[in-house]
Amino acid sequence: MDDYPLMNLFLTMLYLFLWIMWFFLLFKVITDLFRDHTLNGWWKAGWLIFVLVLPFLGVLVYLIARGRSMGERDVAQVKEQEQAFRSYVQKAAGSGPGGGHVDELAKLAELKKSGDLTTEEYEKAKEKILA
């Protein structure tokens, strides 16, 4: 290998990549263990000890045994985060489940446009909403 320094660089980069991927997988498994609400504390402790004492075998067995539910938990967490983000945006925009100033002003504008409210009534109602 001494005749090919580029090959040494390539192998070093490959080992570094595999090492980083290994830690990524290890952390993913450990965080999934703590995120799973279907396991009780003893099962979590057992899996954690197995993963820490025999890391390669532990992670491989965990992925084989619980890989599908691991993916389902990831999808559920993403959906929860998306729903929380949507409700936050709706609340910040004032168009949440309880309505808001924006909706009320839009309704008033529609009533004024259709002729059901006079300009004077519209201004009073608008001031009341904005107060």
Q: How far apart are the first and last CA of the chain?
A: 79
* Tens of pLDDT, residues 17-44: 999 999 999 999 999 999 888 889 999 9
User: Are residue 85 and residue 110 in the same domain, yes or no?
Assistant: no
User: How much of the chain exceeds pLDDT 90, in percent?
Assistant: 47
- The answer to whether residues 85 and 27 belong to one domain is yes
Token output for 74: 């990831």
Residues 67 and 128 in one domain: no
Question: Is residue 26 domain-shared with residue 39, that is, in the same domain?
Answer: yes
Q: Are residues 12 and 76 in the same domain?
A: yes
Q: Same domain, yes or no, for 55 and 106?
A: no
Q: What is the distance between the alpha carbons of residues 64 and 68, in angstroms, rounded to a whole number?
A: 8
Residue 1 reports pLDDT greater than 70: no
Domains: count for the chain: 2
Q: Which domain holds residue 13?
A: 5-93
Q: 41 and 18 in one domain?
A: yes
